[in-house]
Structure 1
Amino acid sequence: MELSFIERGVIAAILIGFIAPMVGSFLAVRRSSIISDSLSHVTLTGISAGVLLGQTWNIITINPLYTGFIFALIGSLVIEKLRQTYHHFQELAAPIILSAGVGLSAVIMSASKSGYSEWYDYLFGSVVSVTEADLMFIVITSITVILIFFLFYKELISVSFDQEYASVSGISIKHINFVFSLLVALVISMSMKVVGILLVGALVSLPVASALQIAKSFKKTLIWGIVLAETAVLTGVYFSYHFNIATGGTIVVASSVILLMVLMQNYVQLFVNRRKQ
């Protein structure tokens, strides 16, 4: 059965809403949420390179999602290496990669013959632009991410919360960090067609930020993050389709509104508790 363009977009959005906060929860624990923004710009470099190669080599059809994933994976590994190099200044790794990604993207995009509309879809997302090949990539990527989470969940938890304990326990921190880099690269590359490269970092971070205000444990943070992300994604897709506005931007606005509501609820609850005392 062939899916319509809107059905493809909705399925892709639901999968992204499920996967993104899973990685975002670990990034929050590692205090490395900025990495998602840095990798999104590196992914833009990969997409630009894929588009340019497709225009240069007319014989070969290149899906920019694949080149975007390759660049995202390389970028995540470089960030991890830089974090080790600048051991006492690890926060420098993300801005270094972000700056390099933006510069390379600008150079490659200027050499490309693509029109504004194509770049707009990649930058800000478009639920109606998801092709069958894109959906297949997103489905395979989602399954891969879920399998990796189930296989390495305990190790990821241990390394994220206490690397010294993980090392003493015999866990290979280097290997687990590579697995985590692969996870981040997969999530960033699969999200860019719906959410947009410039906004994917927000979908990774905002639902988790809301969940942290509600949940009292890491597992509950994961669950609440997924619930809130799906709420934002479905709301964003609905309004973007009916009002013909950018999908990624609408999803991020919905996520921001949810975070604001959660914060306001907490402040109200705190005020009520103080009045009772």
Structure 2
Amino acid sequence: MPELIEKFSFYLEFPFVRYAIIVGVLVSLCSSLLGVTLVLKRYSYIGDGLSHVAFGALAIASVLKLTNNMLLILPVTVAVAVLLLCTGKNARIKGDAAIAMVSVGALAIGYLLMNIFSTSANISGDVCTTLFGSTSILTLKVGEVYLCIALSCIVLLTFVLFYHKIFAITFDENFARATGVNTTIFNLMIAVIVAVIIVLAMNLVGALLVSALVVFPALSAMRVFKSFFSVTVAAASISVACSLIGIVIAILAGTPVGSTIVAADIAVFGLCYLTSLVRDKRG
């Protein structure tokens, strides 16, 4: 154990490790907050859909050789999130069908563009890194870290300020509308926040594993706690803890960061599930 601590202390001297920890904690925290709302509103699969859209936008940005691909990825992902979350009830193609169509279409087009216009000799490696977040979290630049901090602060502040409104539309949107809450505006706000979180999380776990950050902490907390507030706090704590554990193990053991974080989330979900079973039998 002392050797592992000494080894990790040595790695902490490198800026990229500190950047990875900062971004990992912030992204995990933001993902878990909205994850509870998305799970309860039965939009759990939205993370996959939007992450694939972000992948397609990234491919287009690479083809256009944009110096800052976030200028294209973020607006495109936000626009699709608004279409999926805010027009889902009135659209001709509804719910899971729309998400599946957008998800598969964006993924296919993105991969096609990366193959046709690729200037890299290792296209498979580039795609794997983007989809699974193999190394991107450990190659963050200072500007990307500051951008993540700024966007995370906006997400956290928005959630805290409008917590009661988010709570209302999560459990009974029709009742919230009847009491005077502008549900359209708040659904739009949730859509934008979710899109921002998805784009940020791509660097941490990759496009294919983003929804794990959104879903697993919320489901784990729901096994143990019952109230919306306690579930939200527990989900945030679980998400941050799993992110830290995953990053530390990945650095020390040399495993992929994203997959290690998700594995930690799965392990915690298993523990919470077993805890709920034991409690139910006793009760």
TM-score, normalising length: structure 1: 0.89
Q: In percent, how many aligned pairs have the same letter?
A: 23
| CA displacement at 1:241 relative to structure 2 | 1.1
8 Å CA contact retained: 2:224, 2:275? no
Deviation string, structure 1 residues 43-89 (Cα, Å, up to 9, x no partner): 111111122211xxxxxx52233422222101102213551334794
| CA displacement at 1:203 relative to structure 2 | 0.8
Correspondences of 1:88-107 after superposition (within 5 Å):
89-107=94-112
1:215 paired to 2:225: yes
Deviation string, structure 1 residues 73-122 (Cα, Å, up to 9, x no partner): 01102213551334794332211221221122122221222434443332
- 2:202 aligned partner, one-letter code: M
Q: Indicate the residue corresponding to 1:253 in structure 2.
A: 263
Q: Indicate the residue corresponding to 1:124 in structure 2.
A: 132
CA distance in 2, matches of 1:23, 1:165: 21
- 2:16 aligned partner, one-letter code: F
- 2:258 aligned partner, one-letter code: G
1:200 paired to 2:210: yes
Structure 1: gaps of 5 or more residues: 55-60
CA distance in 2, matches of 1:85, 1:244: 48
Q: Indicate the residue corresponding to 2:240 in structure 1.
A: 230
| CA displacement at 1:259 relative to structure 2 | 0.5
Q: Indicate the residue corresponding to 2:44 in structure 1.
A: 33
| CA displacement at 1:155 relative to structure 2 | 1.9
8 Å CA contact retained: 1:20, 1:203? yes
8 Å CA contact retained: 1:137, 1:190? no
1:15 paired to 2:10: no
Q: Indicate the residue corresponding to 2:176 in structure 1.
A: 166
Q: Indicate the residue corresponding to 2:8 in structure 1.
A: none
Q: Indicate the residue corresponding to 2:200 in structure 1.
A: 190
Q: 1:254 to 1:78 in 2, by over 3 A?
A: same
8 Å CA contact retained: 2:86, 2:187? no
CA distance in 2, matches of 1:252, 1:164: 35
Q: Indicate the residue corresponding to 1:64 in structure 2.
A: 69
CA distance in 2, matches of 1:234, 1:241: 11
CA distance in 2, matches of 1:17, 1:77: 22
Q: Indicate the residue corresponding to 1:244 in structure 2.
A: 254
| CA displacement at 1:164 relative to structure 2 | 1.1
- Given candidates 112, 120, 142, the residue that maps to 2:118 is 112
3-state secondary structure, aligned to 1:166: helix
Q: Indicate the residue corresponding to 2:149 in structure 1.
A: 139
Once structures 1 and 2 are overlaid, which stretch shifts more, 30-39 or 145-154? 145-154
TM-score, normalising length: structure 2: 0.87
| CA displacement at 1:218 relative to structure 2 | 0.4
Count of matched residue pairs? 266
CA distance in 2, matches of 1:88, 1:72: 19
- 1:69 aligned partner, one-letter code: L
Q: Indicate the residue corresponding to 1:270 in structure 2.
A: 280
Deviation string, structure 1 residues 116-161 (Cα, Å, up to 9, x no partner): 4443332212331221122112111101101221232222222221
8 Å CA contact retained: 2:32, 2:214? yes
Q: 1:223 to 1:36 in 2, by over 3 A?
A: same
Q: 1:66 to 1:198 in 2, by over 3 A?
A: farther
CA distance in 1, matches of 2:90, 2:113: 28
CA distance in 1, matches of 2:209, 2:104: 17
CA distance in 1, matches of 2:109, 2:188: 24
Give the RMSD, CA atoms, in angstroms: 2.0
CA distance in 2, matches of 1:154, 1:270: 30
